Structure 1
């Protein structure tokens, strides 16, 4: 009940709700509730992170986030390494920590926290310009595995284990990625083969797949968190019956484990030690906020030509939270000889990070002119697609389209649909390809050149615009009428137009995926190319 009250207070005041959950735990500890079981806390933290990371991947719309994927992945890998190293050397040279303990501290707090970042974005409805929200979502959802790998390296050295560090890193990454994809493929094969929902086993199966993936990956020496994130992305971007039920379940479960985790972490802390480590924690947090993260952001994102105000806000969004504290507990339980109180130092860092960055982000968003009032971060169109029959598609307006140079009121789509958004390229470059594309990376969705317009009746449509259109969706429950055909260089269809194929009346090519991953909605004049994947609808 107190947690629900904390959520209500957070929504009204703008205070990060996760900070209030921590405060609740600290208050109960100060009131006399004794809890110091680090082993139990480690188990709860690991289970919670598994749910949070899997759900973060599951709700990532890859098609919409793909334009920001490379910058995000760069930050989630190289960015974590740079931030962790810089923080570690700061602790070594300035705070006089032992070298590998300092680097362990940097690794523990090296990743941003998905739960904290998403909580602040959603609670303040902060939609950001230039495709920044998907970038932050992918970065914060996928950078924990990198931090985990760095922690494994530091602990191996502190424990004087006779292992090959390059081999350890390779195993963590290779088995994590490979097993994530393999388990995703296996799960989809089971889902399509058996009717689990009819027996009430669907949610149980997904949960078993999640825990099984983590366990198998750990046994093989891989990164279980990375495997879970890949598994989540793979399953979340597939269509299957009762997918909404999975969303409902994990939406509630992720909230529950976040409440439990932050409350437990607050309960595990000791108020006297929190006060004792305020100076150290504040210095480390300030260094990360003002130097370590901005330097890594500006250095790595310069390749992608992102804007100054965007880089500053991304630097500010590097919030530390549950993952860092959970990793600190794991390090304490590892048996490594530590001269520092890693848990309470990290705890203080996260407290300051949640408090300062949580309050600064809404203000900085407006000051830096990064707020996009024409859209909402609550869904990036995912929420309604997952939780209702309402679906969105995007259509590119070609120069020869009858909609070109007309206002919305002049367009009669002759269908039960609504124009939701117009995406326009500031450069004004028209698409002359002559094909209707649903690629997630059209010209109007570049990382920095997008203008997003909420259309009214007077909005005029131009060539090159991408129209986001909403309507009631359809889902083929059997999936048996669809067949995927790969057109290789020797296939009889290669280099031929669809109208030349003489398909039976009961067959229709509904979609083509190019080798560059563009999705083409074909017409009779569309010419098939080598390495195309053709989705064929057949009704006999």
Structure 2
């Protein structure tokens, strides 16, 4: 019994420290997710805490549950009007944009290794390593993007913030698919043809979309018709979202896309208890972020990450400045976005937990040498949060977007009551 008590004490204590670190970082203007990562690293095996945690199976399980909750929350908050406004540019950026970023980062990574005459301890073709890193750093983080845009307090067009938030909710499935595709090739070289890859993509995306919409409607029906106490509605939604994620993944479809779309269906379904469900998932989403980033911080070893920082810096410059700029230009300019709007969208491509999570896939699949993916990818995430998270407001002002009030206070005021309107 004592070990269980110690684990509860340790988990609660780290959680409290994480919340305190988040409050301090908010006052200092530091990216809050970086504070969670740093706390995990300090508590881990390479820091003064000395906690040894290297169970990647547990990390994958916890990471899957946490990301499912975060994406479901993002879907709940996505209004139908927002989707109508930016669906096609966001979809283009989440699909073709992710592929462009992955390929360009991979090509740049191979070029740097060639110029430096570097030979990483990787028993497979170097382009496979480069593609895995490119696929990992291609998606943006839904929680990081939404949080940093809210805290930056800059006035940018609604369609820009909308396309960034919708994109960050849709691009994870494509990055997962690319990672799985390269992993499958490494385990069975030549065992997958182009046709099989295309079929797998259709199965992932179409299956995730169908299961997400159908599952969202079924869950919405249950929330409306089943007579339960109001406090049980959020719990029912939580269990339904996790079950849907697991069912989609087990069926070979994208659980990430399924839970996001299910959240969109429920959030726009006229549910009477929607406010309570949204508030619950906002709180639970914060908990999921704290657990996720603390856990990934515990997995990291600072002494091994520091040598990777140069490669990470090069890769994030390629991903954040070059590759994402090309992707945003290709995907947003045809939809009438201006150059400065496209430039801002290029910069606000924050990486978060998803890249680190993706490195566990080839590792758990048994790809030889996959352990070397973790440190460079972790370094890329840290550099992204530092370089981009801290500079969103200055870059916005440089591009001509003025500073304004907190976005939460920018919603239009409700109509006054009839008596007030008559007096006015």
**TM-score relative to the length of structure 2:** 0.87
2:365 is the alignment partner of 1:334:
yes
Please give the alpha-carbon distance, in whole angstroms, between the structure 1 residues aligned to 2:220 and 2:281: 18
- Residue of structure 1 in register with 2:30 after alignment: 15
Q: Which has the higher helix share?
A: 2
2:186 is the alignment partner of 1:186:
no
Q: Deviations over 1:347-401 (max 9, x none)?
A: 000000000001111111111112363x6423764xx9xxxxxx958xxxxxxxx
- Residue of structure 2 in register with 1:168 after alignment: 200
Asked if the contact 2:90–2:163 (Cα under 8 Å) also holds between the matched residues in 1, the reply is yes
State the Cα RMSD in Å. Answer: 2.2
Q: What's the secondary structure of 1:94's corresponding residue?
A: helix
Q: Deviations over 1:238-294 (max 9, x none)?
A: 112221221121111100110111111111101111111111111111111221110
Residues 140-539 of structure 1 mapped to structure 2, 5 A cutoff: 140-160=168-188, 162-163=191-192, 164-197=196-229, 200-338=231-369, 341-371=372-402, 373=404, 376-378=406-408, 381=411, 414-415=418-419
Please give the alpha-carbon distance, in whole angstroms, between the structure 1 residues aligned to 2:142 and 2:84: 18
Please give the alpha-carbon distance, in whole angstroms, between the structure 2 residues aligned to 1:265 and 1:153: 24
Change (3 A) 1:417 1:95: farther
Please give the alpha-carbon distance, in whole angstroms, between the structure 2 residues aligned to 1:146 and 1:417: 50
Asked if the contact 2:93–2:331 (Cα under 8 Å) also holds between the matched residues in 1, the reply is yes
Please give the alpha-carbon distance, in whole angstroms, between the structure 2 residues aligned to 1:187 and 1:379: 31
Asked if the contact 1:332–1:343 (Cα under 8 Å) also holds between the matched residues in 2, the reply is no
2:111 is the alignment partner of 1:89:
no
Q: Deviations over 1:87-135 (max 9, x none)?
A: 1122223225711221111111110111111121122333422521111
- Residue of structure 1 in register with 2:159 after alignment: 131
- Residue of structure 1 in register with 2:21 after alignment: 6
**TM-score relative to the length of structure 1:** 0.69
Q: Deviations over 1:447-495 (max 9, x none)?
A: xxxxxxxxxx9xxxxxxxxxxxxxxxxxxxxxxxxxxxxxxxxxxxxxx
1:304: how far off?
Answer: 1.1
Q: Deviations over 1:194-237 (max 9, x none)?
A: 21336x53222211210121122122211110111110111111
Q: What's the secondary structure of 1:196's corresponding residue?
A: coil
Q: Which has the higher strand share?
A: 1
2:18 is the alignment partner of 1:37:
no
- Residue of structure 2 in register with 1:110 after alignment: 138
* Residues matched between the structures, number: 391
Please give the alpha-carbon distance, in whole angstroms, between the structure 2 residues aligned to 1:355 and 1:52: 22
1:64: how far off?
Answer: 3.6
- Residue of structure 2 in register with 1:28 after alignment: 43
Larger radius of gyration: 1
